[in-house]
Every structure is written in structure tokens, then in C-alpha cells.
Amino acid sequence: MELTNENALQFILAGKAQFTVTNISTQNRYTYKVNRCDTNNNLYFVSVLYNYKSTNKEYSDEQQFKYIGTIRKDTNTEQIQFIYGNKSILKQDSIQVKGFTYIIKHLITKDLPDVYFITHTGKCGRCGRRLTDEKSILTGLGSECRKIIGL
């Protein structure tokens, strides 16, 4: 289900978000996971679904989520920042990393161009449960989790 730009940032920072970003002009699509750190509510780990060629002939090509960096939220200013992770197997100038950096920046400044749309997987961005009611599907957050978050 497509998220509005207004709902997308809340969904992404809810705690267990998995979503796909599509550029309708290029048809590029990338799927990301953003998980809140268990010990620090202002730290999030960002991964991207990554295809790679297996070097082992017994295995076919595989898809796995690969770490690309963190999102940090300043407790005093509420400012949000994506920081590339040096331990990422993807380079900082890879399209997946540059794409996430661009999307998060424009969601924060509320000026994401209309050629991008963000869809969730039908699971709550906070707890991961399947979404069933209309408002939950529109926001990407279940009714109980919206209450907890304060929406």
C-alpha cells in the first residue's frame, strides 16, 4: 500500500519498517528495512535488499538485506540524520545508498518529488503485525501502535 509523504517518515521511524521506494520515471525500485536499536530509541539501523551473484556454484543468486548505515535522531532538537555505515558492503556512492539518502532528506524537508512513491509490505512499521483496518493500511501503523506513538 502506498504511503503519503506525510505518513512515510513516521512509518520509517516506527521501529520495524520495511518498505519499497519506486521512481516512476526510471522504474528503479529498492526495498529497505529500518529497525530501531533495542537499547537506544534514537538510533535506527538501515538495510537494503541486495542482489548478489553467488560465487558458490551450489547456490543460485540470492537476495539479502545488507546494512548501509544508521539514522540518528537528536534528543534535544529532534533533528534526523542518515549516516553511511563504513562497515557496509555497498559503497557510499552506490545507487541504493544515494537513493536512501535522497529519500530520507526529502521526507524530512517535506519536499519529496512526485516521481517517487513509497509502499509498505502490509505489516505494521512498529511491531511487524499484519495490518487489517483501512486507517492502519493507509498509515502503515496498526491502531494500537498509533496510540503508543501518539498519532
The tens digit of pLDDT for each residue in 19-29 reads: 999 999 999 99
On the question of pLDDT at 123 being above 50, the answer is yes
On the question of pLDDT at 51 being above 80, the answer is no
- Torsion angle defined by CA atoms of residues 44, 49, 55 and 57, in that order, rounded to the nearest 10 degrees: 130
The tens digit of pLDDT for each residue in 52-106 reads: 554 554 544 456 899 999 999 998 888 999 999 999 999 999 999 999 999 999 9
Work out the end-to-end distance of the chain between its first and last CA atoms, rounded to an integer number of angstroms: 19
* Residues sharing a CB contact under 8 Å with residue 134, sequence separation 6 or more, in sequence order: none
* Residues sharing a CB contact under 8 Å with residue 143, sequence separation 6 or more, in sequence order: 133, 135, 136
Q: Where are the domains of the chain?
A: 2-149
Mean per-residue pLDDT of the chain? 90
Q: Are the beta carbons of 11 and 136 closer than 8 angstroms?
A: no
On the question of pLDDT at 125 being above 80, the answer is yes
pTM of the model: 0.87
Amino acid in the structure at residue 143: S
Output the pLDDT for position 52.
56
